[in-house]
Amino acid sequence: MKKQDMNRDWIATAETLSSALPYFQRFAGAIVVIKLGGHAMGSDEAMDTFARDIVLMRQVGVNPVIVHGGGPMINAMLEKLQIKSEFVNGKRVTDAATMEVVEMVLSGVVNKRIVQAINRQGGRAVGLSGKDANLIICDQADPDLGFVGAPAEMDPKVLYGLFEKNMIPVIAPIGGGRDGETYNINGDTAAGAIAKALTADRLLLLTDVAGVKNADGDVVTELKAADVEEMTASGVIAGGMIPKTETALDAVRNGVRACTIVDGRVQNAVLLELYTDHGAGSMIRA
């Protein structure tokens, strides 16, 4: 008969699982849209950790939807193909040649890398773009920027069909135009549009910062829409955080229960946000 000493780490693990039960129950059947980008895509190890977390979410009854970016990969391919980009007011002009590369990289290499990572962890992921089944119909966002799209019409029926089969949609932010055009969509914008169309319970925007910070530089863990507006007007929220908070406000004012700007550099950030008291970023509610 073998005697086994109880390791403190084992006990802590069991306690963590037990304390997560209310959250498992709370999010069972919920739709959670996750914008994947930044650190979580930066290495195979980080990707595997993220994929394992997504498979766990699906295992306990959540319907996760992954929307991804891929800017660094696009830049690398444009450089490799010696396609030079023009910029207007600091924003890249997406001409026809650039759009071909964007679609090839996002819908091809990047999308399938995420799909494969999830499947390798035991999930059943399916790669899509906004062009599939007319998921996202776009209008041109700005004529000066070329083929950059703004989501105008959404048809999420294909996603509900995948949920019924316990599959995990992985979506490249590429949309179709009304006359057969192909448009590149900002990843956060695409994630927000999909979350609204699905009336998602949560929208999680993974980024490489700790969250929204106040004037003292401290991360604010929970904000109301009015707080975000006030902090933006006063200049506390500035720079690259503005489009993320704008996406969050648009989502929570259009049916999404809450949006969290999540520190994707933290290991298991998505699980921390959904299944613990303290979370892993700044939650914005209407």
Which residues belong to the active site? 35, 38, 71, 188, 244
CA dihedral 114→202→261→248, nearest 10 degrees, is 110
Q: Binding site for substrate: what residues are annotated? A: 70-71, 92, 184
* Cβ(279)–Cβ(273) below 8 Å: yes
Dig out the tokens for 183 from the structure: 């448009």
**Cβ within 8 Å of residue 251, ≥6 positions away:** 192, 195, 196, 200, 203, 259
Q: Would you tell me the crossing angle of helices 241-252 and 187-198 to the nearest 10 degrees?
A: 10
Binding residues: 70-71, 92, 184
Report whether 137 contacts 43 (CB < 8 A): no
Residue 41 DSSP one-character state? G
Inter-helix orientation angle 96-103/71-80, to 10°: 120
| Beta strands 222-224 and 168-172, pairing class | unpaired
Rounded CA-CA distance 167/170 in Å is 10
